[in-house]
Amino acid sequence: MLTKTIKFPPLGDQRGHLVALEANKTVPFEIKRVYYLFGTKPGVSRGFHAHKDLKQVAIAVRGSCRFVLKDGKNEESIILSDSTTGLLIESAVWREMYDFSEDCVLLVLASEHYDEADYIRNYQEFLEFMNEKN
């Protein structure tokens, strides 16, 4: 199964809510990088890459978007629209993101610092990488 979600328990009271994201507790790895996507124009798709080693958790903290995940044999799709649910994306998984709502803010927690050498940006190269890996 490619789509693995993590439920983050909301904490709060009559004043409002919060979600705590903690490395090696609520997030299953050490967090070395955090970034977020916002202001994605209508009809724009993002992603179209995989990582050799990096793992990520993606959370739509506002709005929604759709992820398509592929491992070279299987393909799964999931819509993120709940700020208490994270999508765990393991290494060596191709990801594509579509259907961003106008207000979407997509938060991404990464297990490693940015490293261009970790990216696979061509799907055919990804398939070759997966064949070599298996």
Q: What are the tens digits of pLDDT across the range 65-87?
A: 999 999 999 999 999 999 999 99
Residue 24 pLDDT: 96
Residues that are catalytic: 49
Question: Are 98 and 124 a contacting pair, CB within 8 Å?
Answer: no
Give the pLDDT of residue 122.
Answer: 98
User: Which tokens is 60 given?
Assistant: 């739509």
CA–CA distance, 121 with 129 (Å, rounded to integer)? 12
Q: If you count DSSP H runs as helices and E runs as strands, how many of each does the chain have, helices first?
A: 1, 12
pTM of the model: 0.94
Distance CA 38, CA 41 (A): 9
pLDDT of amino acid 1: 78
pLDDT tens track for 16-68? 999 999 999 999 999 999 999 999 999 999 999 999 999 999 999 999 999 99
Enumerate the domain spans of the chain: 4-11+19-133
Say what the pLDDT of residue 93 is.
98
pLDDT at residue 133 in the model: 82
Q: Is the pLDDT of residue 134 over 80?
A: no
pLDDT of residue 2: 84
Looking at 3.10.510.20, 3.50.50.60, 3.40.50.880, 2.60.120.10, the CATH number of the domain 4-11+19-133 comes to 2.60.120.10
